[in-house]
Amino acid sequence: MLVLNLHNLLNDKGIEQHNLFLQKIGIHRSTASNILNSNFTFINILHISKICHALNCLPSDLFVWVDSPSHPLTETHALQKLKKKNTPPLTTRIRNLNPDQLDQLSTLLEGIEKQQ
């Protein structure tokens, strides 16, 4: 089943007040609450656009695939790419790096930024 992964994405971006963030980008308070609580059966493409624009991400970054007996996937199905990896949040992983690893990460990020 396709599931919205917005909380994890916002946490990875260092955004703590998720509802307020969605309101600031133009999503109504009640709609933001419904989105964050997965209390919806569809999501407006305009909202996906606003979220992706504000977070500099792709629509596929907003969703993960969760296996379900009622919706089995073959091993080669394209949705397998959306399966959530069992890794800690990025912020936790960065906090656990030693100084040398942080220097390596900084160098890597500088190279990526130069490519943009």
Query: Domain ranges in the chain?
Result: 2-84, 86-116
* Coil, strand or helix at 8: helix
Q: Which CATH number is 2-84 given? A: 1.10.260.40
d(Cα 61, Cα 85) in Å, to the nearest integer?
13
User: How confident is the model over 70-103, as pLDDT tens digits?
Assistant: 888 888 999 888 887 766 777 788 889 999 999 9
Closest to 20 in 3D by CA, of 32, 34, 6: 32
Rounded CA separation 4/36 (Å): 9
What confidence score (pLDDT) does residue 53 get?
97
Q: Residue length, the chain?
A: 116
pLDDT, averaged per 10 consecutive residues of the chain (116 residues), comes to 90 93 97 94 95 95 88 88 76 88 94 88
Which pLDDT score, from 0 to 100, does residue 34 have? Answer: 95
Percent of the chain surpassing pLDDT 90? 61
Please report, as a single letter, which amino acid is at residue 113.
Answer: E
Angle at CA of residue 74, ends 70 and 78, nearest 5°: 105
